[in-house]
Amino acid sequence: MRVRCPVRLAGLLTVAAVALPTCSSSSDAPTSPSGPVQSAIVNLLDSNTFSPSTVTIVPGGTVTFVNLGGEHNVTADDGSFRCANGCDGSGGNGTPATNGWSVTITFPNVGSVPYNCEVHVGEGMTGTVIVQ
């Protein structure tokens, strides 16, 4: 919430490029980065991890998965997507790949979407997209 503060000018002096000060309440502090965002980036690392492994986005938001090293893909636990060099069913190929691929997925519905790397799921390479 912004709180307006009156400004008193001495005399009739007017300058075209004067920036008038504003006052604000403490509720103008930036919002926490841990809240939902419109878009997020998840890196797939050669240490067989997703970084970050959990992201929170708004409905209709996107997550871009970027392979920075290693043989990986990203697959929804519910089978709604399987991606690497594009996504299966969308003209791409979700087979795990070692090249520097990236893919952006839109999440239209509220809920949680757990995902994994098919090659490294046994090593704990898993994550979750939370849509709220």
CATH number at residue 94: 2.60.40.420
Within a domain: residue 2?
no
Q: Within a domain: residue 8? A: no
Q: Is the pLDDT reported for residue 56 higher than 60?
A: yes
Instruction: Read off the pLDDT of residues 6-18 as tens digits, 9 standing for 90 and up.
Output: 333 344 333 333 3
Instruction: Give the CA-trace dihedral at 75, 77, 78, 82, to 10 degrees.
Output: 10
Q: Which residues, other chains included, contact 61 with Cβ-Cβ below 8 Å and sequence gap of 6+?
A: 36, 37, 38, 39, 40, 106, 107, 131
* Segment 20-35, tens digit of pLDDT: 332 333 333 333 356 8
Residue 96 lies in a domain: yes
57-82 pLDDT, tens digit per residue, is 999 999 999 999 999 999 999 999 99
Q: Is residue 21 part of a domain?
A: no
Mean pLDDT within 104-128: 98
pTM comes to 0.74
Q: Count up the domains in the chain and report the number.
A: 1
Helix (H, G, I), strand (E, B) or coil at 28: helix
Domain containing 117: what range?
Answer: 32-131
Q: Is residue 5 part of a domain?
A: no
Is 50 contained in some domain? yes
Look at residue 95 in the predicted model and tell me its pLDDT. 98
What does the pLDDT read at residue 29? 35
Output the pLDDT for position 14.
35
In a domain, 116, yes or no: yes
Q: ∠ at Cα 40 (95, 48), nearest 5°? A: 45
* Token representation of residue 95: 């087979």
Per-residue b/e over 37-74, b at no fewer than 16 CB within 10 Å? eeebebebeeebbbeeeebbbeeebbbebbbeebbbbb
> Considering the domain boundaries, does residue 14 fall inside one?
no
